Amino acid sequence: MTTRDIVLTALFTAIMIVLGLMPPVTLGFIPVPITAQSLGVMLAGGILGARRGAAAIALLLLLVAIGLPVLSGGRGGLGVFAGPTAGYLVGWVAGAYVCGLIAERFVREGQNEIAQLAAFVGAAFIGGIVVVYLFGLAWLSYMSGNAFLPAVVASAAFLPGDLIKVAIAALAGRAVLAGYPLLPHRA
């Protein structure tokens, strides 16, 4: 990694921490809160690319593991990785990687804006929702001792907000690509 890569990775880790300052919204029927930090996963992957985006999220999780309260609601420490949200946290790393990988493959500077925006939407949706949900729901199902399907049904409450986050991440990715292209400079 170059110095530039390290700085960008740290910057997006800081963005994730700032998104964690927004208080979580708890739902009564699922032990996983709605947070703004899942937007950071989509932003990191889509703007930085696969390796740098995943590294930014991994750095955040390292800060969590050493006990810093950088998750939404001021949570931190190793205990977080034993709770019902641990699958989502691990899924953030994989989600940022997949989001970045898709963006790297399908977003090009010479494309028209609609094609770029569509590629960013696809990257944010697949990496930021599908991959993160797979990890999160699998762990939640295991932790609760319930079948996978009820966890999937309960998580439907997250979809409207996550689709808004996909739109925001796609617009931000497109804007950054137009103004200061970070994605083409792969790490």
Per-residue DSSP letters for 79-121? Answer: GGGGSTTHHHHHHHHHHHHHHHHHHHHH--TTS-HHHHHHHHH
Confidence (pLDDT) at 100:
96
- Report how far residue 183's alpha carbon sits from residue 63's, in angstroms, rounded to the nearest whole number: 25
Domain ranges of the chain: 3-179
Better pLDDT: 75 or 30: 75
pTM flag (> 0.75) = yes
pLDDT band at 182, cuts 50/70/90? low
Average pLDDT of 65-74? 94
CATH classification code of 3-179: 1.10.1760.20
Contact 65/22 with Cβ under 8 angstroms?
no
| CB neighbourhood size of 108 (10 A) | 14
Contact 55/11 with Cβ under 8 angstroms?
no
Contact 91/45 with Cβ under 8 angstroms?
no
Q: What is the DSSP letter of 126?
A: I
Q: Which residue, 115, 96, 98, 95, is CA-closest to 107?
A: 115
- Report how far residue 158's alpha carbon sits from residue 156's, in angstroms, rounded to the nearest whole number: 5
